[in-house]
Amino acid sequence: MVLIICVSFLCGALILVFSQTPFYSLFGVLLVSISHSFLIAFLGAPFYSGLLLIIYAGGMLVVFLFSTILSADRFFIFSRSYFTPSVLGVLLFLLPIMGSPSNLSGADNEFGRGGWEILSAFYNLSGFILCVVGAALLVCLVGVLQVSFEHGRKQLRRL
């Protein structure tokens, strides 16, 4: 389960880095925040999981959507030449945490038991109610996406 969450986290990060427009990178940010939230909840801290969804996915993404929809600027298209440094950066980040590449199950390494103690030390047991509020904010985000793609820029500015 943890491996699936980490793979979805990396896929969301790659979508974020290599997307053509900010609208497509928004889905990468959403996937990263959801997978990170599941990882935090899996480690036993649902309060921080909900807090991540509320503040990061709920608040910042809605503000980002409104500002990019109402702007008339063209956006920079990301070059594909940054793929190799990105992969190297991900590997340099994952190797100390996960151990050696041949042992992804989380055996002992120089940081302790599989590196998960590093992550679980930052979180402690808290409440679960903020996960429901975070899910409601994500539903609002989908509503904003629907309204923004259904109407044109001129119609949105009249609203």
pTM above 0.85, yes or no: no
Neighbours of 90 (CB within 10 A): 14
pLDDT one-digit tens code per residue, 74-119: 555 555 666 677 777 776 666 555 554 444 454 554 545 554 554 4
Q: Which of 54, 61, 73, 75 is CA-nearest to residue 12?
A: 61
Rounded to whole angstroms, how far apart are CA atoms 57 and 53? 5
pLDDT score of 24 more than 60: yes
